Amino acid sequence: MINFPKNSVITANRAYLDFEPLKRYDRYFVVRFKDDIKYIDTKENPLPEDSGQHILLKDEQIELTNKQSREKYPNEHRSIAVYDRQNNQTIILIGDNLSWTASTIAKLYKQNWGVEISFSKP
């Protein structure tokens, strides 16, 4: 097992969304949402008036409803939808820190996205 420093944030793309290791690492995470995740909305959070370079479309707290996912990670999660102007797409993120702002979650993922793009360049 990898030993991450305390208060680390794990970011990954949607190909990696396995709740069991995320729980085992006991660190915060921000991951791109997979389309097949089953959940219910438990609370809709207000969107900030100024979202900077990110256009925030949705900010909500969710609970996983798939039996296996819920057993592996029963805590509430945060889901935000962000419009990516550069690529003309909507990105949905899931994280486990309920106190961060939606903008913080988007910025954390954007840092990960920059790393992914740098690996994909020839």
What is the extent of the structural domain holding 16? 9-120
Does residue 3 form part of some domain? no
Q: Is the model's pLDDT at 121 over the cut of 50?
A: no
| Residues 65/40, Cβ–Cβ less than 8 Å | yes
pLDDT over 90 at 2, yes or no: no
In the chain, the number of structural domains is 1
Residue 15: inside a domain, yes or no?
yes
CATH of the domain at 43: 3.90.350.10
Confidence at residue 69, expressed as pLDDT on a 0 to 100 scale: 79
Mean pLDDT of the chain: 78
Measuring CA to CA, which residue among 32, 28, 114 is closest to residue 75?
A: 28
What pTM did the predictor assign? 0.75
- pLDDT at residue 31 tops 70: yes
Q: Is residue 4 part of a domain?
A: no
Asked if the model's pLDDT at residue 52 lies above 60, the reply is no
- Within a domain: residue 52? yes
**Residue 41: what pLDDT?**
93
| 42 burial level (CB within 10 Å; 0-12, 13-18, 19+) | exposed
Q: State the pLDDT confidence band at 78, using cuts at 50, 70 and 90.
A: very high
Mean pLDDT of 45-49: 83
Backbone angles phi, psi at 81, to 5 degrees: -110, 130
Instruction: Identify the sign of the CA torsion 42, 90, 69, 114.
Output: negative
